[in-house]
Structure 1
Amino acid sequence: MKKDYKKLELDKILDLLSQNAYCDVCRERIKKIKPSFDIDTVRTEIAKTDDAFTLSSKFGTPKFYNIKDICFGAKRAQQGSSLSLRELMDIGMFLREVSGLDEWYSQCSGIQTSLTEYFEQLSVNKHLENMITNAIISEEELADSASPQLAAIRRSIQRKSLAVRERLDKLIKSQSTQKYLQESLVTMRDGRFVVPVKTEYKSEISGLVHDTSATGATLFIEPMAVVEANNEIRVLQIEEQKEIERIIKEMSELVGSFAEPMINDYEIVLMLEIYFAKANLGAKMKAVTPVITDKPCFNLIRARHPLIDKDKVVPISLELGNDYSSLIVTGPNTGGKTVSLKTAGLLVLMAMCGMMIPASENSVIGMFDELYVDIGDEQSIEQSLSTFSSHMTNIARILRTADEKSLIMLDELCSGTDPVEGSALAVSILDEFRKRDCKVIATTHYQEVKMYAIKTDNVENASCEFDIKTLRPTYRVIVGMPGKSNAFAISSKLGISSDIIDNAKELVSTEDKRFEEVVQSLEKTRQELEKLKSSAAAEQKKSKEITEQLKAERDQLEKDKEKELQDVRSKAASIIEEVRFQGDLMLEELERLRKQKESADFAQKVKGARSHINSSVNGMYDTANPIMQKKIDHYVLPRPLKVGDTVRLADLNKEGTLLRLPDSKNMCFVQVGAMKTKTKLENLRLVEEKKESKKQPTPSKVGKKLVSNFSRKSGMELDIRGMLGDDGVMEVDRFIDSCLLSGISVITIIHGKGTGALRSAVQQYLRKNPHVKSFRDGAYGEGEAGVTVAELE
């Protein structure tokens, strides 16, 4: 990595990025990433990182494994070599990762991104994956399921081994042979079953000696009785090894036949892992995708240094290359000048590496041909370089190649030498860069450099803010304002006596004092403007909150209004149905009186019925006018009322026309708009100036029209004619539930006369329903026995 990039700590960022990868090979590749200075490449890489970030946000990051490099093994298999079990296991793990990535991307179907082509190029090989997974247990062992023949051979070995053990167990448990044995156990030597025999009893047990103990006291003898069986086991073991080699050869040949697509998939998987590692790091940094432009400039909004704790770092906003090509950053030591410079340079390099940057939305990164850095102390005893000499060597190198597309970052320009000569040299170097239109950020303490930035076009001052009250830096960068070094204030805080500081102030030249006073005045003005701006922003925020609150209250009032209207409609429907029900009762009473007109007490009954009807009508008017009465004052009518007078209802504060004079109970009829109402005489106020009354429809027609329209539109009748008993009852049950929810209290069920079965089923259901207050057959004109009228609770 170039020395300039290391000074900006790009290597540490790449180390941080590598920690978000899973594969060792991928980590190494990440550490070798280099910034690109080609705009198409940068835009492409940034877009892929952004798409990986979007997919991870929606579907989670796909699963990656620590896969090994399978390219070498795949090429060997392609050339006919047999691979080791370890190599085959690595290939199996890689194939599982390819399958997993393909399965993960299947959930993103329909979403086209710049990564789509990579996922679509992956070639899933389930057959080879399953073969390797099922066949290999470890890098030293194949599973019995690797082939039927291998399983059969191993079963034979197991049976014969068991038979040999049984025969040897009988031998070592025999009383006649136990005294010859060192231990009563069966062991193995050279893959053959043997027993440990004491050396002095060698001749007592005939067999083949395979080994001797370290002390020579024990011989491991294979009894002649099991030699043939051991030979058979040995032959089977040779067959087993041949079968294992055949299986490995077969799998290696299959790997070789797919070598090219697997090598291609391997490269794709590594690229995908790098892009998702960039996306994951961006998420941890709360980073954004910058806008990439071909102009050599940048505009960083609330940028944060990625290596500083995100809970402690202070965001900065820096711009370069648009309104000015050089930015001179000044301020006290430890005030954040170098960090600001490094932040800008590092974020430019991160973008050129295709990474997201820790800044706010709409931050812009332009394209530079090269980035040069002179930061830190590079003095060298071996090369006889002092601090100043090392800086000048570096700047000489930059001056040889820098042009209008170069980004140059200079920390403490021309420090470490005589201040007079150093400041003059710094101004001269900066002016040379300005003439070349190089993009420069430089930090300095020299007053002459600050003055140069004030006087020169295309050069701007910036300062790292310092709180003079607390004598602590705020780490905020203020563009357009030169900063003070505050050396006297800092020295006083660190223990330098006031006499020394006062003497030093006297030694400062008059011109420098005047400049410092101007800077201090500007700083004071800036702080006041900051406060005003902050206050205005707070007021604007408060105004916005109040506006939003009023809007919310208005929306709530609209909802409450709609709810109230819905309740009123429901109550109106209930009132109309109640009126209709009472009317039906009246008609029924009239019909009953008609049938009794021949009786002796007919006149008395008619009088009683009239009284009952009047009482019912009064009750209906009270029901239809359920408005809380206002407190009526002591008002005296100026004259007796006449039909046609314009009156005002005190409780409603509405005007209407008197239709009928007060009755015996002091109740009057008043027409208010399209509505008739009955009210007490005390509630009326005479309006002296008579208003022109509009022609009102007759009461009977209005009432009839309301009832007729409501009945037709609201569906208070249920027609179940032609249904079977159970079906009809189910319809009635649903109808009653609907009416209860709507606040309707009277319903009519049309079932017809017929055999009477449907009528009987309906009325039996109504008797049991707890929500039915009463029911009756239809009256004359209603359908009589063909309908049932029910009153709901």
Structure 2
Amino acid sequence: MESRVLKTLEFDKIREIVAGYCTSSAGRTMIEKLVPVSDFEEVVRLLEEMDEGLAILRIRGNVPMGGISDVRPHAKRAQMGGMLSAFELMEIANTIRASRILRQFIEAIETDEEIEIPHFTAKKEAIPVLTGLEHEINACIDDNGHVVDSASGALRSIRQSLRMQEGRVREKLESYTRGKNAAKMLSDSIVTIRNDRYVIPVKAEYRSHYGGVIHDMSSSGQTLFIEPDAVVQANNEIRRLKMQEQEEIEKILLELSAKVQEIAHELFVLVAVLSEIDIILAKAKFGKAQKCTKPEVNDQGYIRLTKARHPLLPIDEAVANTIEFGKDITTIVITGPNTGGKTVTLKTVGLCTLMAQAGLPIPALDGSEVAVFESVYADIGDEQSIEQSLSTFSSHMVNIVDILQKYDDRSLLIFDELGSGTDPQEGAALAISILDEVHGRGARVMATTHYPELKAYGYNRPGVANASVEFNIDTLSPTYRLLIGVPGRSNAFEISKRLGLQERIIDRAKGFTGTDRGEVDSMIASLETSRVQSEKDAEETHEILLETEQLKRELEAKIADYDAMKEQLETKAKDKAKKIVEDARREAEAVISDLRAMRLNVGADVKEHELIEARKRLEGAAPTEAKKKVVKAKAAPRPLQVGDEVKVLSYGQKGTLIEKVSDQEWVVQIGILKMKLEQSGLEYVKPEKEKQPVISASVRGRDSYVKLELDLRGERYEDAILRTEKYLDDALLSNYHQVSIIHGKGTGALRKGIQQYLKNHSRVKSFRFGEAGEGGHGVTVVELK
């Protein structure tokens, strides 16, 4: 690309902004040389690298690039055998350290599956590993660029001697400042340094008292800085040690410089790679700050910029326009009055093209697309600030002639005010002829003009479209919105009328323009009105479509959540039911095992077929995974009571009511299994012989039947204590001296609670665990008073 075109389209200003985002001087230097490229594959690579940088900034927020210096001059001097300073060596070590931190940062991102960064991975692999040199320099030079004592044994020894000698000199001179005559003979009681030698400030009239060498005097001449004879030799020793120190430091620096010389080429590569990464991240930071996006690119000359704005205008002030051409339409002619924004539109298209071909994001919405051109040419001049004369026309024509000699069908041509600066009729004719020439050779062209003769140019030539910049008659100002397909009009009569020009003058002027001109302006006005209305309708339709799509997505999400929740609840209910049955089955197996043990050990009269029947009844009590139909119980002939036999409809089994929990809930015993069930799922079963009425515990007599054992397995703690209290009262009324409480083994919580209650019961004489034949630790045998 020609440098004149880059300046005309203000690409140089974009480079200055991007350079401000670089963190290294080498990166800024390279950005200042950044130019668009015309190779399609390279443009694709540059944009992909920049897009990876945007992704990294979006995920990680920032990239560690601090501490990078352009150490190539240092490496070059080391190659030539020169000695590097401690500060220069420190810069080399810091740059190597920065590359190591950056490499680790990229490796950490590579393990993150959220983004892929193949281009950054390739850059990382190209970074030379120079950690050894970094450690050697850091072992000799600190962060302030000073050679440390531990750089060599000789340097440590020299500096120790130097500090001791300086201490002696200061001690000797401080004895003078503390002497009895110090207040009279010294200007100040301090020890200072002049010409790298320790001295004391002596009043001029007492100079002979101390003797020695005068190194300096005050501006008034009243104070002399004297090195007394007593410390001259000590100061000489300090000077000698400092010279030795400097010689040893130079020796260390030469050794380190020689090591830099060995890897100078790797340092050149290191700085180049770090600078490339710095440039990529600077482009990404620019795109993030300016709200730019990565465009798609093609080599077919097609441009589609969606809501594009000029990148040098403030974001909140720039008017965004959608511009599309390059396929069926290859030439756009923008007509209309001056100061309407035509030139800004041309620069926006040209600048976005140059930015994309330089690997920069463009100020347009996602989905925008630009073409990669072999060359971009522009002839743009501010007509409002240039005196209209033959020289102006000549300067424009010289530029246009040069463009016509260089362009081809893979060029983008931008003409501002084509044919201006000369006679209107001749200028319009030249503009039409030039447009015919460049359009006929297949170039992509955007041109502006205020000649009325070009308003019909796009209507009788295929591949050409008219356009204009919208003007608001009510506010007498342009809106800067581009209207493709509608030619511009001057609006001179409307503006003059609103500004107060008499209507008779305006009417006379309209008569001079002719009927055809008036009809054309009326047609353009009608087109503008229709265009504005259609765009308004399109925006409203688009908003309704977006709202509908959003509602659809929300509804689909809610349906998906409902289905997931439903499935989760069904699965949870099934798992809970299975767990209840499994727990009951295990408990039953334990009971059956205990019964068998009792039969074997103590000869209990329990039949095997009774055990098998109990197990079958238990298995039949398992709930099915899904109940197709809810069966309601028939109305009972009387209210249900404790001891009634009922049919459990959900399981198809018979059971006995043990306890009423609430008005609508009962504890039912099915075989050896106890369950809490709703009364609506229970059906009263009339016994073959009417049972005796149930007698409550409060009125039970001495002859009432009370079992010798109480089974509390499966009970909650509070319910178990209540049942134990009631059972002991019944047992005492029945004159039992010994009873058994079956609480099971389990976690032991129920057993501990029962035995704690027994300790505090006034009628309990003692209690113990059951013997092997009595149930072991699952039973507590209680002896009553």
Q: 2:494 aligns with which of 489, 493, 504?
A: 489
Contact 2:745 2:778 in 1 (8 A): no
1:302-341 equivalences in 2 (<5 Å): 302-341=307-346
State whether residues 303 and 317 of structure 1, in contact with CA within 8 Å, keep that contact through their aligned partners in structure 2. yes
Q: Secondary structure at the match of 1:115?
A: helix
- How far 1:548 sits from its partner (Å)? 4.2
**Alignment match, 1:57:** 58
- Aligned counterparts, 1:674-689, within 5 A: none
Q: 1:278-304 CA distances to partner (integer Å, 9 max, x unpaired)?
A: 111112222222222222232222222
Query: Which residue number corresponds to residue 235 of structure 1?
Result: 240
Structure 2 residue aligned with 1:364: 369
Identity in percent: 38
Structure 1 pair 298–164 and aligned structure 2 pair: CA distance change class (3 A): same
Say whether the 8 Å CA contact 1:379–1:385 is kept in structure 2: no
- Distance in 1 separating the partners of 2:184 and 2:551: 105
**In 2, Cα distance between the equivalents of 1:210 and 1:313?**
69
User: Which of 397, 402, 408 matches 1:397?
Assistant: 402
Query: Could you tell me which amino acid in structure 2 is paired with residue 453 of structure 1?
Result: G
Q: In structure 2, what is the Cα distance between the partners aligned to 1:571 and 1:265? A: 64
Residue aligning to 1:515: 520
Q: Is the Cα contact below 8 Å between 2:386 and 2:392 reproduced in 1?
A: no
Secondary structure at the aligned position of 1:327 is classed as strand
Selected match of 2:417 from 387, 412, 420 = 412
Decide whether the 8 Å contact of 2:745 with 2:751 is kept in 1.
no
Letter in 1 for 2:346: L
Give the deviation of 1:396 after TM superposition.
2.1
1:23 maps to a residue whose letter is: S
CA RMSD, 1 decimal: 4.7
Contact preservation (8 Å) 1:379, 1:386: no
2: distance between equivalents of 1:211 and 1:470?
79
2:233 maps to 1:249:
no
Q: Using a 3 Å threshold, how does the CA distance of structure 1 residues 64 and 705 change in structure 2: closer, same or farther? A: same
- Give the Cα–Cα distance (whole angstroms) in 2 for the partners of residues 61 and 578 of structure 1: 57
Shift, 1:542, TM fit = 4.5
Offset of residue 83 of structure 1? 1.6
Query: In the alignment, which residue of structure 2 is the partner of 1:765?
Result: 749
Rounded to whole Å, the distance in 2 between the matches of 1:390 and 1:338 is: 18
CA 1:670 to 1:185, structure 2 compared with 1: closer, same or farther past 3 Å? closer
Please give the alpha-carbon distance, in whole angstroms, between the structure 1 residues aligned to 2:334 and 2:386.
Answer: 31
Partner of 2:7: 6
How far the C-alpha of 1:188 sits from its partner, in A, is 3.7
In structure 2, relative to structure 1, the CA distance for the partners of 1:768 and 1:126 (3 Å cut) is same
Shift of 1:576: 9.4
Given that 1:414 and 1:423 are in contact with CA atoms closer than 8 Å, whether structure 2 keeps it comes out as yes
1:81 alignment partner in structure 2: 82
Scaled by the length of structure 1, the TM-score of the pair is 0.70
Q: What is the CA deviation profile of residues 483-520 of structure 1, one whole-angstrom value per residue up to 9, with x for unaligned ones?
A: 33323223334454433333322222211222222223
Structure 2 counterpart SS, 1:341: helix
Q: Which amino acid aligns with 1:361?
A: D
State how far apart, in whole Å, the 1-side matches of 2:631 and 2:752 are: 49
CA distance in 2, matches of 1:222, 1:178: 18
Q: 1:785 to 1:77 in 2, by over 3 A?
A: same
- For residues 114 and 757 of structure 1, do their structure 2 counterparts lie closer, same or farther at Cα, with a shift above 3 Å needed? farther
1:266 counterpart (265, 271, 274):
271
Give 1:44 shift: 2.2
Alpha-carbon distance change, 767 to 203 in structure 1, aligned in 2, over 3 angstroms: same
Counterpart CA distance in 2 for 1:326 and 1:127 is: 61
> Structure 1 residues 417, 168: CA separation in 2 closer, same or farther (over 3 Å shift)?
closer
2:81 is matched by which residue type in structure 1? G
Q: Paired residue for 1:540?
A: 545
> Is contact 1:378–1:390 with CA below 8 Å preserved after alignment?
no
The structural deviation recorded for 1:346 is 0.5
Partner in structure 2 of residue 48 of structure 1? 49
Quote the Cα distance in structure 1 between the aligned partners of 2:579 and 2:269.
Answer: 77
Q: Which moved more, 1:320-329 or 1:156-165?
A: 156-165
**8 Å Cα contact 1:24/1:66 also seen in 2:** no
Match of residue 40 from structure 2: 39
Quote the offset at 1:15 in angstroms: 1.0
Q: SS at 2:270's partner residue?
A: helix
SS in 2 for 1:142: coil
Correspondence for 2:484: 479
Contact preservation (8 Å) 2:26, 2:271: no
The 10-residue stretch of structure 1 (221-230 or 334-343) with the greater mean CA deviation from structure 2: 221-230
For residue 420 of structure 2, give the secondary structure of its aligned residue in structure 1.
coil
Instruction: Say if 1:137 and 1:143, in contact at 8 Å, map to a contact too.
Output: yes
Q: 1:105 to 1:197 in 2, by over 3 A?
A: same
- Separation in 2 of the partners of 1:670 and 1:182? 119
Distance of 2:522 and 2:384 partners within structure 1: 37
> Is 1:456 the equivalent of 2:461?
yes
Could you list the per-position Cα deviations for residues 409-438 of structure 1 after superposition, in whole angstroms to 9, with x for gaps in the alignment? 112222333333322222122111122122
Residues in 2 aligned to 1:478 and 1:143: alpha-carbon distance in whole angstroms: 71
What is the distance in 2 between the residues matched to 1:516 and 1:736?
96
**Distance in 2 separating the partners of 1:181 and 1:521:** 100
Shift of 1:441: 0.6
State the SS of the aligned residue for 1:124: coil
Q: CA offset at residue 82 of structure 1?
A: 1.0
C-alpha spacing 1:149/1:491, structure 2 compared with 1 (3 Å): farther
- Distance between the aligned counterparts of 1:395 and 1:674, measured in 2? 97
Matching residue of 1:27: 28
SS at match of 2:233: helix
The letter of the residue matching 2:43 is: V
Taking structure 2 as the reference length, what is the TM-score of the superposition?
A: 0.71
Q: Which runs of 5+ in 1 are unaligned?
A: 584-651, 679-702, 711-734, 741-745, 747-755, 775-782
Quote the offset at 1:238 in angstroms: 1.9
Query: Quick one: distance in 2 between partners of 1:508 and 1:427?
Result: 22
Cross-structure match for 2:123: 118
In structure 2, relative to structure 1, the CA distance for the partners of 1:500 and 1:76 (3 Å cut) is: same
The answer on whether the counterparts of 2:213 and 2:229 sit within 8 Å (CA) in structure 1 is yes
CA distance in 2, matches of 1:561, 1:109: 39
Change beyond 3 A, Cα 1:492–1:196: same
**One-letter amino acid of the counterpart of residue 92, structure 2:** I
What count of residue pairs does the alignment treat as equivalent?
650
- How many Å apart are 1:162 and its aligned residue? 1.7
Q: Distance in 2 between matches of 1:382 and 1:496?
A: 27
What corresponds to 1:750 in structure 2? none
1:668: Cα distance to partner?
Answer: 15
Query: Quick check: 1:376 aligned with 2:377?
Result: no
| Whole-Å separation in 1 of the counterparts to 2:30 and 2:88 | 22
| Aligned residue number for residue 147 of structure 2 | 142
Whether 2:333 is the aligned partner of 1:355: answer: no
Task: State the 1:556 CA deviation.
Answer: 5.8
For residues 569 and 504 of structure 1, do their structure 2 counterparts lie closer, same or farther at Cα, with a shift above 3 Å needed? same
Contact 1:85-1:139 within 8 A present in 2 as well: no
User: Which letter maps to 2:525?
Assistant: Q
- Taking the TM superposition and a 5 Å limit, the aligned residue runs for 1:156-167 are 156-167=161-172
Match of 2:693 in 1: none
Cα deviation digits, residues 651-672 of structure 1 (max 9, x gap): x99999x9x9984679999999
Distance 1:461 1:226 in 2: 95
- Mapped contact 2:467–2:488 kept (Cα < 8 A): yes
Summarize the Cα distance change of 1:246–1:521 in structure 2 as closer, same or farther, 3 Å threshold. Answer: same
Aligned pair in 2 of structure 1 residues 765, 448: CA closer, same or farther (>3 Å)? same
1:467-487 deviation digits (Å, cap 9, x = unpaired): 445554333323233333323
Structure 2 counterpart of 1:727: none
Greater CA drift, 662-671 or 185-194? 662-671
